Structure 1
């Protein structure tokens, strides 16, 4: 691993460190409460690495859900990553085998950093991106293990602790809004979601509404991709 890239990436990932320790600890506490110790927390965070998906996983494990249910729910809750992947095609180009890890590690928070962070002068951009992804992953694993260990040795009431993930999403959204002058993608995402929640939420439930709204968002972003990129180039110039 390139130490220069790690040193450059660490300050950039400090906000994620603070957030991942908090929500990772919350996940570890919840997992410990249903009878799974820190070893499970470590390997789930190492191999699954999906914050909201792992929070959902706690409920699925507690209720002994079938594999079919697990597959469908995981697809629903992580479908947004399709949009993330499409927007990262150019940044991940030419990364070799590291590209596979970059795809695996593209969480909401890592995506937010990769979308806005620029490699310092003298640091290879590809190694810089890889270092960001690796550091974020390590923070999540650390928080999960700490939470599971703490839950085993301390009497902690976990009621409402799962809201930590929602709170982090809100913070990321606000930061992205302030960092970019172009708010059209965010307005499309929010507007479409609210529209289909009002139209389909009561009729078909939130799961079906989520699939439809995410599909429409992806379609609109693909249609507007050239215009958005053209506008971004003009702003840079």
Structure 2
């Protein structure tokens, strides 16, 4: 089979994400239909939006009948962190060719964590390996959300607490990244600035504040960090 090695490797690497995305996607589907929206909204959103946290937020947008400008601004803030992720992957995706638009679209927190944690096999065709990894991850979310919506249409569920599964998954991936780091200082800077942001700013602005603070500190100590490497 063409690209068999890339497919097998991508699937193996994506298994931790499968365990989280299938559960959280299922929870999203349940939550969506619990507000009396048609079940097919779930697969459509998971196919064309594919932004876990934003999809949950979108349900609230629908309920309050938010305007397009309000939705656009909120969406920009929720997903602004992806811009910083993308900058660090420019070199990796440089030779992706026609696959590049999808790789950009399908980049999520968990996919980014896998791409930056797992050491690449030099024998792999990188752009296809990246493509299959992203595609597997999206398929888990798509299947989970679709099944959740279908099941939720026929059976009543209490969805309280299910949304925490994505947070738990990201914590596990973060721990794996920490273990693979030779220089722990950037990780500690991120943790410290997150605590500062949590204390000083409202919760809805914590993420962007901690990212900006981390970038400022990393920039100020860039020379020292490079020397430590």
Same fold (TM over 0.5): yes
SS of alignment partner, residue 91 of structure 1 = helix
How far apart in 2 are the matches of 1:220 and 1:8?
Answer: 36
Report the equivalent of 2:93: 92
Any idea what the Cα deviations from partners look like across 1:40-66, whole Å, max 9, x if unmatched? 111101111111111111222222222
How far apart in 2 are the matches of 1:230 and 1:98?
Answer: 36
When residues 28 and 229 of structure 1 are mapped into structure 2, their CA distance, relative to the original with a 3 A threshold, is farther
Q: CA deviation at 1:151?
A: 0.6
Q: What is the total number of aligned residue pairs between the two structures?
A: 228
In 1, are the aligned partners of 2:99 and 2:127 still within 8 Å (CA)? Answer: no
Given candidates 198, 203, 207, the residue that maps to 2:204 is 207
Q: Does 1:9 align with 2:14?
A: no
Q: Which moved more, 1:176-185 or 1:31-40?
A: 176-185
Q: CA deviation at 1:92?
A: 0.6
Unaligned runs of 5+ residues in structure 2 are: none
Report the equivalent of 1:162: 163
CA RMSD of aligned residues (A): 2.2
Report the equivalent of 2:23: 22
How far apart in 2 are the matches of 1:50 and 1:166?
Answer: 14
How far apart in 2 are the matches of 1:169 and 1:21?
Answer: 14
SS of alignment partner, residue 92 of structure 2 = coil
When residues 23 and 230 of structure 1 are mapped into structure 2, their CA distance, relative to the original with a 3 A threshold, is farther
Q: CA deviation at 1:228?
A: 5.2
Q: CA deviation at 1:224?
A: 5.4
Report the equivalent of 1:81: 82
Q: Does 1:144 align with 2:164?
A: no
Report the equivalent of 1:102: 103
SS of alignment partner, residue 38 of structure 1 = coil
Q: Which moved more, 1:173-182 or 1:74-83?
A: 173-182
When residues 84 and 154 of structure 1 are mapped into structure 2, their CA distance, relative to the original with a 3 A threshold, is same
Report the equivalent of 1:176: 177
Given candidates 207, 214, 217, the residue that maps to 1:217 is 214
In 2, are the aligned partners of 1:20 and 1:139 still within 8 Å (CA)? Answer: yes
When residues 173 and 64 of structure 1 are mapped into structure 2, their CA distance, relative to the original with a 3 A threshold, is same
How far apart in 2 are the matches of 1:190 and 1:49?
Answer: 27
Unaligned runs of 5+ residues in structure 1 are: 233-237
Q: CA deviation at 1:13?
A: 0.8
TM-score (norm 1): 0.86
How far apart in 1 are the matches of 2:130 and 2:150?
Answer: 31
Q: Does 1:54 align with 2:55?
A: yes
